[in-house]
Structure 1
Amino acid sequence: MTTLTPPAAGTPHLTRWLIRLHRPALLFWTAVVVTVSGVLLWLGGPLADASAAAWRAYNACRTATCAYDQAAILHYKDVYTYTTYAVLAAPFLVAAWAGAALTGREVETGTARLAWTQSTSPLRWFASRLALPAAVVTAGTGLLVLLHHLAWSAGKGRIDSLKSWYDLPTFYANGPVVVALALAGLVAGALAGLLRRGSLPALVAGLGFTGLLWYGVQLAIPHLWTTSTAVVGLRRFAPAGGGLGVDEGIVTATGAHVSNPTCANSENVECLAFYDKFDAVGWYRDYHPASHYWPLQLTATALVLALTALLTLLAFRLLHRETGLRKGRSA
């Protein structure tokens, strides 16, 4: 296998070298963004119009034999699901590539060390590996999130089967937290490439970190903003509190809240015994209404970006320490 000679020092040279080295990945990312963007525009335009017309015809039905375009409704639903998960896959694609190719392959083949000794410093080399990909990832993922949000908004009040804002895949695909997760995946993958010294281990490590971070975000988001609370009497229906649910349970005679998401104001034997045990007088539900969407999204995005900055600082410090030790030993 032929080893490409690193370019001379200088930011323009490093940028051209990076584009040349990772041109297939750049073309693939561009193709993914353009394709998904086109489908999202189709989803929010002709598909949304066709599905809305079908729902109007369905709701106007007064007989069992009236006609409506069921295929348009199902087609919209399927395309919406596929594009939503395509947007959510972006952080994992970025993390896998960053670990396997951005740094892992160059460290594994020795190209990185050659560049450090002949053309540029390790810290400058790593900075060049992050700056341009970060811009490309932010632009591409940000465009997908924007178009997904517009496509979803085009169906509000028109398509009865449209996912609610708090449906978890929709919640994430509609907001900037996905962009922050993609940047975190980029840095995590690049850091894994430095530490694991192999493409495949770094790929797995980058994917694993991104998955764990996303899981942590899902656990944390409901608690990043003060919830609203709905309360009803015990023998009435449980409070609707339409939105992102956080907790629910009974209200005792003293006004205390005791969590119990399983009974939901049911009157079976087990639930009646539970109500009597705690002297229940009502039922409560803590939730986030639609007005909390952007506070939750922006707070989660800020936290993920802060973690990404810490990972970046850690990567630079580790690289500086490692290369500094090697220089000391060689001296």
Structure 2
Amino acid sequence: MTARTLHPAPSAPSAAPPASPDARPSARPRQIRWLLRLHRPALYSWAALVLVLAAGLLWLGGPLTDAAAEGWRQFSACGMAEACAYDQPAILRYRDFYLYATIAVLAVPFLVAAWAGTMLTGRELETGTAGLAWTQSVTPARWLAARLLVPAALVTAGTGLLAGLHHYVWSAGRGRIDTAKSWYDSSTFFANGPVPVALALTGLAVGALAGLLWRRSLPALITSVAATGGVFVALHRALPYLWPTVHRVSSLKLDTPAGVGLSAHSGVVTSSGEQLPQPWCGSSVSPQCRAVYEKLDAVGYFRDYHPFSHHWPLQLTATAVVLALGALLTLAAFRVLRARTGAVRGMKTAA
């Protein structure tokens, strides 16, 4: 009988140890990747818009400004000559492109609000994409946070770049181009600092809130754009009162009250110190206007205004006010989401 050598049976491969919870990628990076993939067309469109506008602003602040400044130098050198050759097309070209660039920068908050109301929240709720995400171990609050934080970073970077370049364009033409806009021109002021960034972030919050309230794209679009326009108009009206003004009294012999800048109030001052609205008559050198002022007992003009030194205080104060409003709207969006999702979960539990 032949002895057989017994070999131990090969042991089964041991099961791999379970992955630790720490090794699993967090939900937030997955949310960011999914968000960027879902809104890839909007991301590409935003990048293209920023790059095109940035290139246009650099061209406007460089060659176009230099050509327009040279045209004005030629015009000034003409003096009183009847026949004068100067580069008028360059002057007109600068004026037109400056207007277009300013409108484009100011339109960014409205575009952000429209996109946020339609594509960011409204469409995802309308099509059920948001509900699907909430079933994939993603809480509604984390879902909304990802949809606000990522666009907010991209909007801040892009809008900040455009606003900075617009200020560069305006600074390049200041003192060189006779028809350059003043710093207190409404459109120029709002495009010339951090205010467009704050308006764009507030537009993002407005759009997200509108999408959560309507749960449909078209109503959210209309509401977002209208609400952003309302914020812009309210800020325009409140701007002169966001910072203490300079009070100046001048002679009635002038055509208008003295003081160049952003005006808050103006009128005439009586001998008793009372301030009355401006009758808009003109200089007291005119007999008709002198009679009007004597009837009012006016002894001088007054104007409460902001000089150029108030440009940055007004910019920063306006930015802070708009950002505070945006923060309140963001909080409201989370409250609305919590109320909506809480009610839905309560109904499912009862069922």
TM-score normalised to structure 2 length = 0.88
> 2:116 corresponds to which letter in structure 1?
A
Paired position in structure 2 for 1:302? 320
Determine the C-alpha separation between the residues in 2 that align with 1:95 and 1:151: 26
Q: Is 1:19 the equivalent of 2:36?
A: yes
Determine the C-alpha separation between the residues in 1 that align with 2:287 and 2:159: 48
Corresponding residue to 1:80 among 77, 98, 104: 98
Unaligned runs of 5+ in 1: 1-7
Q: Secondary structure at the match of 1:225?
A: coil
Following TM superposition, by how much is the alpha carbon of 1:229 offset from its aligned partner in structure 2, in angstroms?
Answer: 2.1
Paired position in structure 2 for 1:4? none
Unaligned runs of 5+ in 2: 1-24
- Aligned residues of 1:245 and 1:287 also touching (Cα < 8 A): yes
Paired position in structure 1 for 2:53? 36
Determine the C-alpha separation between the residues in 2 that align with 1:326 and 1:173: 43
Higher mean C-alpha deviation, range 109-118 or range 134-143: 109-118
Q: Is 1:275 the equivalent of 2:293?
A: yes
What do the CA deviations read for 1:154-178 (whole angstroms, capped 9, x no partner)?
1111111111101111111101111
Q: Is 1:116 the equivalent of 2:116?
A: no
What do the CA deviations read for 1:196-217 (whole angstroms, capped 9, x no partner)?
1100000011001100000000
> 1:280 corresponds to which letter in structure 2?
A
Determine the C-alpha separation between the residues in 2 that align with 1:72 and 1:272: 45
Paired position in structure 1 for 2:264? 246
Following TM superposition, by how much is the alpha carbon of 1:147 offset from its aligned partner in structure 2, in angstroms?
Answer: 0.3
Question: Which has the higher Rg, Structure 1 or Structure 2?
Answer: 2
Call closer, same or farther: CA 1:97–1:57 in 2, change over 3 Å.
same
Q: Is 1:70 the equivalent of 2:91?
A: no
TM-score normalised to structure 1 length = 0.93
Q: Secondary structure at the match of 1:286?
A: strand
Following TM superposition, by how much is the alpha carbon of 1:13 offset from its aligned partner in structure 2, in angstroms?
Answer: 1.1
Following TM superposition, by how much is the alpha carbon of 1:235 offset from its aligned partner in structure 2, in angstroms?
Answer: 3.5
- Aligned residues of 1:224 and 1:296 also touching (Cα < 8 A): yes
Q: Is 1:197 the equivalent of 2:241?
A: no
Following TM superposition, by how much is the alpha carbon of 1:263 offset from its aligned partner in structure 2, in angstroms?
Answer: 3.5
Q: Is 1:60 the equivalent of 2:77?
A: yes
> 1:296 corresponds to which letter in structure 2?
L
Q: Is 1:46 the equivalent of 2:60?
A: no
Determine the C-alpha separation between the residues in 1 that align with 2:254 and 2:180: 29
Structure 1 vs Structure 2 CA RMSD: 1.7
- How is 1:138-287 mapped onto 2 (pairs within 5 angstroms)? 138-260=156-278, 262-265=280-283, 275-287=293-305
- Aligned residues of 1:247 and 1:261 also touching (Cα < 8 A): no
Corresponding residue to 2:331 among 313, 316, 331: 313
